[in-house]
Amino acid sequence: MHEFSIAVNIVDIAVEHAEKANARRVNEVELEIGELSGVVYEAMETAMEAAIKDTLLEGAEVKIIRIAGRGHCSDCGKEFGLANLFDPCPECGAFNPEVLAGKELRIKSINVD
Amino acid sequence: MCGTCGCGHDDEPVKILKPGEETHAHSYQHSHPHTHDDEGHTHTHPHQYTHAHDDGNETHQHDHADEHHSHPQDHHHHHDGEHAHDHSHDHPHVHDHAHAHSRQIAVEQDALQQNDRMAQRNRGYFEGKGLLVLNLVSSPGSGKTSLLEKTIARLKGKANIYVIEGDQQTLNDANRIKQAGAPVVQINTGNGCHLDADMVNKAVKRLDIKTDGILMIENVGNLVCPALFDLGEAQRVVVISVTEGDDKPLKYPTMFETSNVCVINKTDLLPYVDFDVKKTREYALRVNPQLKFFELSVKTEEGMDAWMEWLLKARQEIQS
């Protein structure tokens, strides 16, 4: 359940931004989480629900934007969808592409009152 | 829940202990300042995780029911039943659920930036000390502690070695390491499934570290969670044993991707298990072509020479 520690960090960052903006409450927090980031989406949702309690984010909608993995083959240069880190290039079969997207673990924005 | 450490559960605090300290824990200390509206003063309670409130109130909203806390002058008293109103109320209570005054704030920040920042602070400290720091990760039972015991024995007279042990509970591993002859600090994470940079930062202060040594951080046995938490180490070492599945690198790719070295332990058991070393290496290289392997048996010490040679070389490189 490392998702919980990550959720606590997310809430800390969101509260910091909300306080800076003199917000009364946070209505929504928008996260970008890549499919190759190493977190389980369901666990992340549960962890966020618990982590926002008794904070400015209490009751806020947690919006998770899933970002699909994309790789760039360092051998043949092809760009392709990457479902797993160990997937080979569909063009030439080489492993270990450069990961272009899918490792995100970011807070994109918050909506506050 | 305490956001400072992110451990998640107040009832299972993170503790940082040395062997023999079971009864007087040095737990994380931090303060929770709070204001008493009634007297207009603020004070800070420095307290430990082990600090218990009789009322079980973990949010530290202390109720002061005693006489000494008088109401301030601008205190609003609610009307009670005897106080009648003879005028009618006509407040149109319209709640605007569209949040007419709501604002969108772009944050664009990495969720783990706090940990990453602390890891960089640790890294700077380690560099300043000329210290080679390894983060040992694995499933429980792969032989990390045994590998450390043998490594400590073989390093005697060659290099100073220090150990930070990470486990959910007990000082068992720290006691083993102390027995083996290395200064050690145990982090008990309670319910936590991984070490983070902040815990290491606090633990390392309890070790009297001289320059030019080696610090081994044995992470909580878990192939998932520790992968995302940089501790400030120079190298991450993933340990697997041949009694596990040989497809571990495919099942837990993030750990193998983020590691620099892979130790395949318990090779003395290879004749009795179906573990295919070649396959494991191939799978691991798919996610991380730079991964360096050591096949060894901590028990028979076969293969330990190569590991020790690499370790001493890596230490030299840090100092040069």
CB contact under 8 A, B196 and A95: no
Contacts with B280 (C-beta within 8 Å, 6 or more apart), sequence order: B240, B246, B247, B248, B249, B264
CB contact under 8 A, A4 and B112: no
> In chain A, whose CA is at the least distance from the CA of B101?
A113
CA-based nearest residue to A32, from B107, B293, B116: B107
Domains of chain A (ranges; CATH) run 2-112 (3.30.2320.80)
Domains of chain B (ranges; CATH) run 113-319 (3.40.50.300)
pLDDT for res B227: 95
CA A66 centroid distance within chain = 7
**CA of B167, closest CA in chain A: separation in Å?**
15
pLDDT for res B211: 87
The pLDDT of residue B155 is above 50: yes
d(CA B126, CA B117): 14
Percent share of chain B, pLDDT over 90? 68
CA-based nearest residue to B284, from B317, B258, B320: B258
SS3 content of chain B, % helix, strand, coil (to 5): 30, 20, 50
The dihedral over CA atoms of A85, A86, A88, A94, expressed in degrees to the nearest 10, equals 100
Note the pLDDT tens digit of each residue in A24-57: 999 999 999 999 999 999 999 999 999 999 999 9
Q: Find the CB nearest B287 among A8, A13, A96.
A: A96
Q: Among A11-15, B89-93, B160-164, B257-261, whose mean pLDDT is lowest?
A: B89-93
d(CA A32, CA A30): 7
Sheet harboring B184-188: ordered strands across? B26-27, B15-17, B184-188, B161-167, B214-218, B132-138, B235-241, B261-265, B292-295
Contacts with A58 (C-beta within 8 Å, 6 or more apart), sequence order: A25, A52
Assigned token pair, A108: 């994109």
Q: The complex's ipTM? A: 0.90
pLDDT for res B1: 40
CA-based nearest residue to B165, from B148, B144, B186: B186
Note the pLDDT tens digit of each residue in B211-245: 889 999 999 999 999 999 999 999 999 999 999 99
Where residue A79 falls (left for φ over 0; alpha for ψ -120 to 50; beta otherwise) is: beta
The pLDDT of residue B194 is above 80: yes
Looking at every residue in chain B, the average pLDDT score rounds to 82
Determine contact, residues A28/A61, Cβ cutoff 8 Å.
Answer: yes
Q: Are strands A26-34 and A105-112 parallel, antiparallel or unpaired?
A: antiparallel
**CA of A77, closest CA in chain B: separation in Å?**
17
Note the pLDDT tens digit of each residue in B80-124: 444 444 555 555 555 555 545 899 999 999 999 999 999 999 999
pLDDT for res B184: 97
Q: Among A42-51, B4-13, B125-134, B158-167, whose mean pLDDT is lowest?
A: B4-13
List of chain A residues whose C-beta atoms are within 8 Å of the C-beta of residue B229: 2, 5
Q: Which residues of chain A are at the B interface, by a Cβ-Cβ cutoff of 8 Å?
A: 1-2, 4-6, 8-14, 17-18, 21, 23, 27, 31, 36-39, 50-51, 53-54, 84-86, 88, 95-96, 105-113
Assigned token pair, B298: 């901590």
CB contact under 8 A, A6 and B225: no
The pLDDT of residue B294 is above 60: yes
Confidence class of residue A81 from pLDDT cuts 50, 70 and 90? very high
**CA of B152, closest CA in chain A: separation in Å?**
31
Sign of the dihedral defined by the CA atoms of residues B146, B263, B193, B210, in that order: positive
Note the pLDDT tens digit of each residue in B266-292: 999 999 999 999 999 999 999 999 999
d(CA A72, CA A101): 10
Confidence class of residue B32 from pLDDT cuts 50, 70 and 90? very low
Where residue A87 falls (left for φ over 0; alpha for ψ -120 to 50; beta otherwise) is: beta
